[in-house]
């Protein structure tokens, strides 16, 4: 890995001959550059310089304790300064989970740096009329909601830092195509932590996650803790405020969307969210929904995701 002057650590795969546009891969929660281990060598073999950072707050990258340091102006600056340090004018940005939320915003914040988008799991939605914390508090009156639980600094941090391996195993499986994440909604918010509501998970290995790969996640979160990742949730209101006037700007850069058919995100939003996204993203060239895969689609269906990415990139 390489440390950049902006405080991010990156893992990079360089092609023998750089014939394609550079690609920056942005993970979400609870992730790592390692979430793109199946994409980096494939992209490089196709002629793309592939860069996967540990996002702010994760792994070996800088991890401020103040949620204010995770607002949109700051996280956009992470990406533009990454390009500057690597001598890259424009890149295709690939986003997953919170990484997708950031990369959906890049065309309005830094249009001159975005050659295209490949978005995984999180479709673009219209701007909420109320602040995220208000919406989460309302939903938490009905059932446990991790967005609301994560809001109070120190509470979730302590729970997850104490049992990182158990949390990661149970969350990875619950959000997968074989899991049952929405069973968390059977529990009330009051009096419950995340590990009180997450379903049990089978022992590793799984078809898409080896014991060795899982151990890497556990070691990184054991060392770095979860506060940095949780601060992306705690910055949600600040991001919402900063995106006023930007959220509904049409995205015209070439865009591909990829998701697992069993992703709880699509279940919660309803499949009509894909039609809504298409209206907000005139640059949308392809939507790929992969049967059997869940939220971690780039790991669960790596070969099919890689094929969809390469087909999109080949058309730029």
What is the set of active-site residues?
97, 295
Half-sphere exposure of 79 (CA within 13 A, CB side): 33
> How many DSSP H helices and E strands does the chain contain?
15, 8
Do the strands 9-13 and 23-26 form a parallel or antiparallel pair, or are they unpaired? Answer: unpaired
DSSP 66: S
Instruction: Tell whether the torsion through CA atoms of 273, 279, 281 and 284 is positive or negative.
Output: positive
How far apart are alpha carbons 304 and 299 in whole angstroms? 10
DSSP 36: G
Cα angle value 290/292/293 (rounded, 5°): 65
Strands (E), the chain: 2-3, 9-13, 23-26, 50-54, 91-96, 114-120, 255-260, 284-290
């Amino acid at each position: 890995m390489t440390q950049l002057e902006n405080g991010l650590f990156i893992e990079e795969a360089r092609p023998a001959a750089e014939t394609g546009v550079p690609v920056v891969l942005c993970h979400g929660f609870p992730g790592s550059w390692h979430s793109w281990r199946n994409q980096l060598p494939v992209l490089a073999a196709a002629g793309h310089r592939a860069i996967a950072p540990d996002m702010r707050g994760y792994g070996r990258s800088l991890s401020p304790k103040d949620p204010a340091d995770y607002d949109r102006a700051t996280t956009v600056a992470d990406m533009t300064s990454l390009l500057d340090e690597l001598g890259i004018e424009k890149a295709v940005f690939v986003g997953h989970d919170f990484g997708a939320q950031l990369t959906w915003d890049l065309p309005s914040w830094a249009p001159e740096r975005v050659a295209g988008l490949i978005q995984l799991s999180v479709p673009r939605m219209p701007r909420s009329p109320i602040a995220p914390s208000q919406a989460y508090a309302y939903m938490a009156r009905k059932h446990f909601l991790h967005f609301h639980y994560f809001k109070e600094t120190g509470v979730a941090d302590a729970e997850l830092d104490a049992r990182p391996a158990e949390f990661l195993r149970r969350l990875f499986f619950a959000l997968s195509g074989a899991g049952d994440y929405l069973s968390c909604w059977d529990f009330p918010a009051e009096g419950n932590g995340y590990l009180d509501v997450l379903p049990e998970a089978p022992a590793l290995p799984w078809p898409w996650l080896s014991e060795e790969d899982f151990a890497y996640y556990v070691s990184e979160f054991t060392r770095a803790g979860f506060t940095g990742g949780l601060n992306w949730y705690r910055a949600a209101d600040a991001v919402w405020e900063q995106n006023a006037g930007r959220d509904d700007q049409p995205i015209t850069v070439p865009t591909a969307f990829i998701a697992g058919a069993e992703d709880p995100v699509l279940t919660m939003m309803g499949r009509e969210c894909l039609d809504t996204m298409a209206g907000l993203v005139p640059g949308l060239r392809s939507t790929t929904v992969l049967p059997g895969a869940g939220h971690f689609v780039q790991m669960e269906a790596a070969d099919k995701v890689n094929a969809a990415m390469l087909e999109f990139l080949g058309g730029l």
